[in-house]
Structure 1
Amino acid sequence: MMTKGVDLFRSKGILAIQGSDDKHFFQGVHMLLSFGSSAEGIGEPWKEGELRKNRIVFIGRNLDRAELERDFKACLVKK
């Protein structure tokens, strides 16, 4: 993604991090990113029994969806 900063207008997401009950958030504009979590008072932690699902949105041009999905899936913990 570092080579796509000019084409990546906006990104944001909610992440489930293994071993954490907090929801983790990120948002970005081009190559500038900010991160936070429910532990810092941003949003609510995962509720007991709630399906923990990563949600990510990318807005841009000339983005390769298959590449984005492949690169993100490479970061996922396998159960």
Structure 2
Amino acid sequence: LVSEEELARVEARLRSINQFAPVMHCTHSSVSVDQVLNIHGFDLQRALKASPELLNTSAAPTKHDARVSSVSLDQSAPRHLRTVQKGELDLDLLQEWIGELLNNSGEDIFRMKGVLAVAHAGKRFVYHAVHMTFNGCFDEPWDDEARESKLVFIGK
């Protein structure tokens, strides 16, 4: 799908970001799950050897693209700071809203993730999206925890 030159450029860029990360060549996202999940890829001691300033808070901050921002809507924030109300969500309305949001702004949304309290559901609705690709499902039960919805958006 890409030229050898483009592949070499991307691999060099990946190595400049994380020299320890394994690079796997694949076609159409065909990668064994065992190669990417539960590999315990981060080792603090190894990272500190490679970058002794890693935990130094006075080190120069990373530069980010000014067009990229994130928003987190947190119901536990003081009332005057939050933009959502506590309460359970209607699944049909939620799906309609997310569909419209991704349809209208999906190219500008790099990532969305959250845990939602859906009305009449005993389990949390956990979701994530990358651009216009959305995946969500009911996950663990709420048990005695407060039923609150938390949404995170990263994009431009």
Could you say which TM-score interval applies, normalised by the shorter chain? 0.5 to 0.7
Residue 22 (structure 1) shift: 0.4
Aligned to 2:129: 28
Q: Match for 1:9: what amino acid?
A: F
Moved over 3 A (4+): none
> What secondary structure is seen at the aligned counterpart in 1 of 2:107?
coil
| In the alignment, structure 1 residue 18 sits paired with structure 2 residue 103 | no
Aligned to 1:60: 155
> What secondary structure is seen at the aligned counterpart in 2 of 1:47?
coil
Looking at secondary structure, tell me which structure has more helix per residue. 2
> What secondary structure is seen at the aligned counterpart in 1 of 2:104?
helix
Distance in 2 between the 1:36 and 1:14 partners? 10
Looking at secondary structure, tell me which structure has more strand per residue. 1
Across the aligned residues of Structure 1 and Structure 2, the Cα RMSD in angstroms comes to 0.9
The TM-score with structure 1 as length reference comes to 0.65
Unaligned runs of 5+ in 2: 1-100
Q: Count matched residues.
A: 55
Greater relative contact order, per chain length (Cα 8 Å cut-off, separation 6+): 1
The TM-score with structure 2 as length reference comes to 0.34
Residue 36 (structure 1) shift: 1.3
Residue 37 (structure 1) shift: 1.3
> What secondary structure is seen at the aligned counterpart in 2 of 1:9?
strand
Distance in 2 between the 1:22 and 1:33 partners? 19
Distance in 2 between the 1:32 and 1:59 partners? 14
> Max radius of gyration: which structure?
2
Unaligned runs of 5+ in 1: 39-43, 62-79
Distance in 2 between the 1:37 and 1:5 partners? 23
Aligned to 1:9: 110
